[in-house]
Structure formats: structure tokens, C-alpha cells
Structure 1
Amino acid sequence: MIATETKTEALLKRKQAAVASGIANSTSIFVEKASGAVITDVEGREYLDFYAGVGVLNAGHCPKPVVEAVKKQADKLLHSFFAIAMYEPYVALAEKMNQIVPGKQPKKTMFANSGAEAVENAVKIARQATKKTGIVSLECGFHGRTLMAMALTSKVKPYKHGFGPFPSDTYKVPSAYCYRCQFQSTYPGCGMHCLEHFDRFFAAEAASDQIAAVIAEPIQGEGGFIVPPQDYFSGLKAICEKNDILFIADEIQTGFARSGKMFAIEHWGVEPDIMTTAKSIAAGMPLSAVTGKAEVMDAPGAGGIGGTYGGNPLSCVAGLETIRYMEDNQLCQRAQHIGDVTMKRLQNLQERCAAIGDVRGLGAMIGIELVKDRKTKEPAKEMAASVIKLCLEDGLLVIGAGIYGNVIRLLIPLVATDAQLDQGLGILERNIQKAAAAC
């Protein structure tokens, strides 16, 4: 009997023939539909989604109010280019962003399409506002795949390798990666060497009077869900203020209730000069934003920032409805609950599984760093890949992270039920132990 080709196999052949090889795929899943925290593929198989489109779907797949708002808007206007013929949803969403982004001073917002585009525009705005050119980012940070964003990104493969040369006047300093402290110190007795390093940096690398901005993710995402100490960002902001440097908070992955607050930087009580957002801003519709102090945002002249599709009307109404949905359903509180349950389960597993070197996170943004030996902290990249594969076979989607590729990152949709959370964590626990025993 001749085997019949499955829908997935047929689609894979078409994909391989038509799509550029640089578009990598970690699974062979083709999604037919999705709702909440569940994905259904073209074969009818269901998967629990614990990666949420890499942080895009904090409000879950296809939240009904957002879908209905997009449908309604589609009947009225798909596009006009805001720079020529304006529309109210752009203005309304800008007003909402100015309201919810932390900071007491008047704020303004612009919209683009992707996180990388938001970063590019934030850099342009910072340079115009300060009349300086240098941009400092943190090691282990990720800021996107366009040229300037790649220059600010720390992980070389696959994001930067072979794509240079990169823009000049960008610099990197050590991040507050306490589990793997570059200075071989231990917090809190270290005195924050990662901040003290700025004195050497300004003397040896770039003078403070040439630095326009420091950009940092409150929690480093692709870098391995690295959460800095409580006094890190207040110290970093003080360094910026002392040297007339703008602080850009990159909330592209951490924003919109993921950390247990609407924006993760709120955990440190710091007000950024500029904030970049994207991902969960519009429940999957392409949209990003740059929000900042009004006098900073107004620095570029007319036409200096913008783009043809930036702030598309469909995306803007999706953004308004997504934020309303998050507020109405108290997703910040839900993120904290999911995080509390998950951290307790994983810390308990850590006591029984020597392969777990560190468990860290804020709210429902949690990373599990796997190691071959707890004393040497040798990264267990192959083990992490095995966990991801085993979970997939058991119907759970999780993804990796970390500059060494040895971190399992959890971005559970904030609408996941308690039963789904329990089921998914059970699958994850079982397969971490299974992978650890095999390695």
C-alpha cells in the first residue's frame, strides 16, 4: 500500500521550494487555527502554546474583541499613509500609549511596523535630541535584525554572522548577568561592578560627551531571560543623567503585562526617556511604537521619522482593543499568578534535577538555564534542544534562548487556564528530567 502524503509533508515541499533558506523553522508545524493558548495544525493536532509567538500573544491567540475591531475597521479603511491623509485610530492609540508608558512628563508617540524599526527610530530620535552620535547597548542584548539593530545586538550567530560591516559609533558594556558574572563577583557584595565599569568605558572606549543614549531591555529576552538586580536600573539611569545621556528602555518583548506590570521597567521605578514597544502591542497585528518625553520625541524635523505602513489603521485599532482587553481582564495580575505557580514548580524541580543551573524571571517571563555541571556552569545546549524536541512530541511548544543556547524560555499566554498551565508544566518537568537523564 502506497502511503498518502500528509498536508504537512506537501506544505513542507512547497515551503522548501519557494521560501528563502535563511527563514529557519524549528518545527514542521503548519498552523490551521489557534485560540487562547492552543494551536491546531493542518493535521488536526493540538499543541499547548508556551511561547506565544515569541512574546507577541500575551493576550492569547485571536482575542475576540480584537478580531472584531479589525474586521470592522477593514470595512472602512485599510491604508492611506498617515503622513498625507490622517485617521483617528493613530491619534487615539498614541494618546493611550502616552498615558500608560511610565513617566510624569508630557509624552509623544510614533508608530512603525516592527521592533527593529522602533529601535532604528529611537536611535535617530536620540541622536537628534542630544546632537551626539554614540549608542551603548548591553552584552547579551537583542534589539532586532536590521543593520543598526544588529549592531546593538550581542548574540553573533545566527543574527550577525557574515552580515557586517555594521554602523559605527555603537558600543557594548557588560550586562548584569549575575549567574555568569563577567567580573567573577557575587551580588549584592559586588558593589555592582557592571555599573562601575562605565568609569573605565568612558575613559577607554568613548567619552561620555559623545554618547547619545544607552539602550537596554529591562529583562534580556534572547539573551536568556536575564533579570538584573533591584538597584541596577536606578544606578544605570543615574549614570545617564549625570552624563546627559538618554536612557532607552527596549520593552519590545517585556512590555504589555508580560512581567506582571504593563511595562517591566516599572519593577525598578525608573522612567525612561524613550521606550520602544512592539510584539504584544496589537495581539499579532504588525505594529511597533516609540514613546518618549515630548521634547525628545519632537527633536527630529518634519518628515525625519515615519514610514509608509507605520501605524496602519488595522493595527492601530487592534492595539487599542488589545490594551483595553489586557486592562479589562487584569492580565498583569494574571501574569503574576502564572509566574508564581511556574516559579514554585520549577524551583522544586531544580532541587531534584542537577541539570537546572538557574531559574529566573519576573511575572510570566521565566527562563530555565541548563548546565552540564552546576560548579563549572558549562552550558548544556544539546540538552536544551532535546527538551524542546521532547516537549513538541508531547504537544507542548517551548523555545530556547541564551547566548549559549542553553536556556528554555517560557512565554505562556496570559489567558492560559489553570488546567492548561498545570498540564504544560507537567509535560515540561517530565521532559527536562528525561533529557537530563539521557545526557
Structure 2
Amino acid sequence: MSAPQKFSEFPSTAMPLATADMIRKPRFLKPTAYVHDYINLGSVQKCLEDRRSDFVTVNSTTFSAELELESRPHERFFVLERDHFTLFSHSHTPVKFSYKSRNAVMSPLWRDAAFTDMTSTKFVEVDGLWQLEQLPVLCFVFGQDADTLQSSYLIDDNTIHEYYESTATVDMAELATVAQGKADLCVSHFFVVNRGKEYWAVDTKDPSSISYAFGPSTKTRTISRLANGSIAVRALIDEELSQISIDAHTSQITEFKLRDINGEEVAEGDNFVLQIPDRGDDEDEDEDIRERRTMFDNKDWVTIFNRSHFNFGSEVMFTGSMDYGFSFGIAVVDGITYLTFEGQFVQINDYGRIPDIVVLPETPSKHNRIHLTYSDDGFTALSIWGAKVPIIFEWMKATCGVFYIDEGADIDDSAKLRIIKV
């Protein structure tokens, strides 16, 4: 195999454009893959985008991809071969890809991303075939869950898939055998098993005793760390055991006493407001900051006042105020302290592509819990339960802000909050 070659972009010579009047391009393009009649589709490596792609078997002696492209003025399609697949587009000459990166190529096209989005240095050419520089992650998916999965970021796109149907306990050793047989196609030291909202990272060499459970809210961070080799499955488990030890002293009401800015204990039934810094010392003085500081009399801290009129489903943005406004509280369920707002639970919502912070009536599941703790400077901080992932507050406009999860940030970057009982 020749060494990988990096280029700034794929071949860019345009194909002849069709002369027919161009039809308005649809918002989403359902990928079409033409399969030569000598190809066994069942032997082709599976990917998430197969679920919303059209596979069309064609006569290998009469089918012409170039003629097909001319007859489809606003579309792109794929042709599957035995050892590679080819993307045909009006913007570029045909580009050949390795099956290792099929999902990574098809997913952006479904979202109608510009073709140049895939010409980053993360793609390399090996033996005439383009592929992502990092090997894909093998993910085993329970067949009945397949239609609920969505590609979103590169960590989702850069995967290859196998499906299982067993309703009993998953045999990790059996899946490890399958993974070992694909060592040349994907990351070899671990694989992922998914069922519903539960994920497991499994050590390929020790599947019976080492598997790490995580949820959608930490999926990107967990898989990314494993895929780039910065941590092992065993180390992830050790980290969680350490975090559980910390949780036992900070999240259970018998050990953890939430306190306001005066050091007074906040108990269940108390009402309080949360305040957020108006700005950081290192922020630029942009127009929104100047407007906010004028409206709030140049106060350093601003009360998180109420849900704004910006509501996207269950997603909640908050507005700032000089007054106390609506108040927060806590609820203790099975010894765990939860932050509440207007009687509902503040929690993580991971049903969408991007986990966010929402207010819902039901008690959060384990993977949707928010960890209440104290930062080193004495202020209250929020993070994801069982993971060193901070929850950050960002002003979106002069008086409107939102809590969000930043998997790439350090835990010390968690939003600083202070509590004032009312």
C-alpha cells in the first residue's frame, strides 16, 4: 500500500453540465447508489446512510454513469464497485472513495453540504482512493433502533455498522470476534454497541470484562477520545469510578449541602434566583455587552429571570433582569439533588442531534442528570452527571442567554452561578 497523500481538494474539473432547464434543488437529497449486477450488496460494508438511500441494480454492460448524470441536472449519485465506490457530481470529475469512509461521504451530501466541505486535510488518498485519515469506528446497532439513529457530527459520520437482533443480553465476546475480523477496516482496539439511548465502548481484546457505558450526551467526547487513542476503555472506567466517588460527596443530600452566596444552606422547598456574570474580564466590549450593561446599570451579576419567548420545542432560553423574577429550587429524589425551575426539572435533553439543557416535568434519567457542585472560587457550577463535561451559559443577545454543553471545554470553564435565596 502506498503512503497517504494529502491534497487541499479533490479533483475539481467540472463535468459537462446538462443543457436542460435547471430544476430548483431540493433541500435534502436522498442519495442514490447504482449497484452493478455482479455486486453482492449484502457483502458491501454497511453504514448509517443506507437507511435513507436508494439502491438501484443496473446492467453492468449497458449502464453509463456519465449519461445518467447528464439526465439528472441537479443531482449527485454513487456507483458501487467491488473494492470502492465512486461519487458522480456536476461539480467535479468522478471521485473514487474507500468503503471505509462511505458514511462520511454520504452523510454530508444528504444534508446538501457543499462538496468542498469534504476537501479538508482530514481526507487522504491511498492507492487512488480517498478516505478519512482517521479510521472509522465499528458500531453494532440493535436492528429495531436503526431508524432512530441520526448522523450529525464527524464522530457519527466516520463509522461502519453491523446490526444485531438479539433481545437477550448481548454477547460482547461474539461481537468482538466480528470486530477482530474487521481490524483492517476500522479502529481495532475498541468497538461500540448501541441499543436505544444506551451505548457501550468495548475493549476488543477483553470484551467479557471491560465495557464502558455512556449516553448520547457524552457520546462525541467518549468516542473521540477512544478513536484518537488518547485514552483506553479501562481508563474511562477508572475515571467514572473516581467521579462516582466525588458524586457521593457532592450530589447526595446527606453529604452535599447547597449554599447561597451568604453560606446559608439551601434546602428542598426553598426558592432562590440564579445569577450569572454580566461579562468576563477577558471579553471584548461588543454592542450586546454595552447594551446589557446599560440596561442593568453596569452590574457585574445579572439575575436569570425567566424563559424568554424564544422556545424551540422543549428547548429553553433565559432572559436577564435586574429584579428577582421567577425563582429556581431543588428537588431531592432518591437521595439525589436536582435543580428545578417553576416546579420542573432542569436537565439534559439528548433526543436531538445536539444535547441541550431543557426544563421538563419528569425526573431526569441517569444520563440526563445535571451535577451540582462548587467551583474552586466558591460559586456553584453545573456539569454532566458522571462526566467531566461543563455546562456553560452564553449570552446570545443583550438580555437573552442559554445554557449549553461544551464537550471540548475544560471542567473549570463551567458557568459560574451564585444563589440568592428569596
TM-score with structure 1 setting the length: 0.21
The structure whose residues are more often strand, as a share, is 2
Structure having greater relative contact order (Cα 8 Å, sep ≥ 6)? 1
TM-score with structure 2 setting the length: 0.22
